[in-house]
Amino acid sequence: MRRIVVLAISLVALGCADTRQFVTLAFNDYGQVTITTKSPKEDLWAARFNRLEPSSETITIEKSRGEVDTVSHSAVFDEELLQKFFADVDMTIRYTTAGGMNELEIYPATSSRATREEREEFDRRVHVAAQAYVDYINAMRHVFHYLDAQPGRLESVFRQLTVEHDEDVVAASEEENTLILDVRHAMLHVISTAPEEDAQARFFDLADRVNDPFPAVLTVTLPRTFVSLEGFKRIDSTTIRAEVTSPTEALSALDGKWLSPDLIATSWKERTGPNGEPMDEESTFQATIHQPRYVTPSVTADEIAKAFIEQIKPKPLYRVRWVSAHPEG
């Protein structure tokens, strides 16, 4: 379904301004791991590489208009040096080989990148958004009651909820117009966690600093398909990623908990057809509006905030196992 326009633009802007660091651990069948890092502007991982004194390494600098954009750094190490490489990061990494299986375990600590003031600000913004979500649910409840009495207005009402401007809304009556505008305004309040123009960008930054214990987006590639997975996010059969849930992922995971259809929660989801192919916008719209309608009798901002924070916090353990190419015995 068509995304809320302001929301989509904000997310695109955030994506274009991505300043995260990346690290990849590529394991092979010979007891070694290639560590590759990517940093914006300068090599932020040089000290870690120097600490292990690799016999050879590769540094790649990418420039744009004469300015450094990113620096990539790569070297091969014995697997037992993994923990030493991350010695200054508050997390434990264990790599073991036993019983014909290889196992990588990562135990992250609580993120220490945010100050106490930033944590308090994040909590305030979550509760502001949670209260706005309560208002949005209540506004949708009124729309659902209206549609129960006017079922023929279903498709038109939902289309008007996502037009670009309030002035573009076309309603059958003053009552319908008021109901539509109430929902539209409530949706915008949910994604505006504070009155300033960069509220959403600030919220994403705080969510990252408060919740993400990793020093970078951590990707692991394996020499063969993994046997079991815990905590990691599957990219494909041999590639996984250790990252905390983003605010958009956390919200989409709560789709249907208090409201269905939930236009905000579903705005980030990609619907697929029976064969797994992405659904086009119109098919997605039709599938969304014809979901069984449900709205919770009551919910508080505290309940919503608690559920959101539970979704967004990091996993206590990230573990992957794969078959060894050289089983013991």
| Number of residues that this document lists for the chain | 329
pLDDT in tens, 177-208: 999 999 999 988 887 766 666 777 788 888 88
> Do 187 and 136 meet the contact criterion of CB atoms below 8 Å apart?
yes
How high is the mean pLDDT of the chain? 85
284-312: per-residue pLDDT in tens? Answer: 888 888 889 999 999 999 999 999 998 88
More confident of the two residues 8 and 141:
141
Count of other CB atoms within 10 angstroms of residue 48: 20
What pLDDT does 325 receive?
80
Once rounded to an integer, what is the mean pLDDT over residues 73-77? 95
pLDDT of residue 313: 83
In 10 A of CB 173, how many CB atoms?
A: 11
Mean pLDDT of all residues in 46-61: 92
Interval 204-226 mean pLDDT: 88
pLDDT exceeds 70 at position 329? no
At residue 52, φ and ψ (nearest 5 deg) are -95, -5
Residue 50 predicted with pLDDT over 50: yes
Q: State percent of the chain over pLDDT 90.
A: 50
Backbone φ and ψ of 19, nearest 5°: -120, 25
Decide: pTM greater than 0.85: no
Rounded CA gap, 187 and 135, in Å?
9
**What Rg, from alpha-carbon coordinates, does the chain have?**
24
Backbone angles phi and psi of 165, in degrees to 5: -125, 150
pLDDT score at 228: 95
pLDDT, residue 16, reads: 39
C-alpha separations of 215 from 115, 123, 186, 211 in Å: 16, 22, 36, 11
- Cα–Cα distance measured from residue 288 to residue 279, given in angstroms and rounded to the nearest whole number: 11
